[in-house]
Homo-oligomer: A and B are copies of this chain.
Amino acid sequence: MRKKLLACVVALSVAGSVTAADRPIAPNGIALYPDYMSWKVVAPSYREDKGQIRIITGNEIAVAALKAGTKPLPDGTVLAKVAWKAEKHPSFPVATEPGDFVQVEFMVKDAKKYKDTGGWGFARFVGNNLQPYGKDKSFVAECFGCHTPVAANDYLFTKIVKTP
């Protein structure tokens, strides 16, 4: 794992981005989706308790289904939640803006494969090294436990933003 991580870091330093071959992989086998910042916006989010400001993005399947109000979301839906440290703008402190990158998390829909966790696969990659979170695949109990209160909304806290 450490060798793979080092290889990732080297690849990241050289290429300036994560390529398909170098994607870090969570203990449950879910690999980072390198294009998450190119996906469309689902919603912004602010967590005062964690001192984080976040963006949720979604792949095409996700965004189409969320706009259509399809429930549950279909297999192939992938959502990314990207978190940065929340900081006051140096020239304009009434504005809270993103500072350092904290982590990126994914929810991946496959109703059969992930039936034990509401049809969703979870993964988190932490810090500039995109370190996969979790000692082993039991880490998902943490993610799923937090999302269980919103089971009625297909385990999602986030709703897609409303625009005219």
A46 close to B157 (CB less than 8 A): no
Q: Does A96 contact B (CB under 8 A)?
A: yes
A96 close to B45 (CB less than 8 A): yes
Which of A82-90, A106-114, A135-143 touches B? A82-90
Q: Can you list 13 A-B contacts (CB < 8 A)?
A: A12-B164, A37-B163, A43-B98, A44-B55, A45-B97, A46-B53, A46-B95, A47-B95, A48-B96, A82-B163, A91-B149, A91-B157, A97-B159
Interface residues in chain A, defined as those with a beta carbon under 8 Å from any beta carbon in chain B: 12, 18, 37-38, 40-41, 43-50, 53-55, 57, 82, 84, 86, 89, 91-92, 94-98, 100-101, 104, 127-130, 149-150, 157-159, 161-164
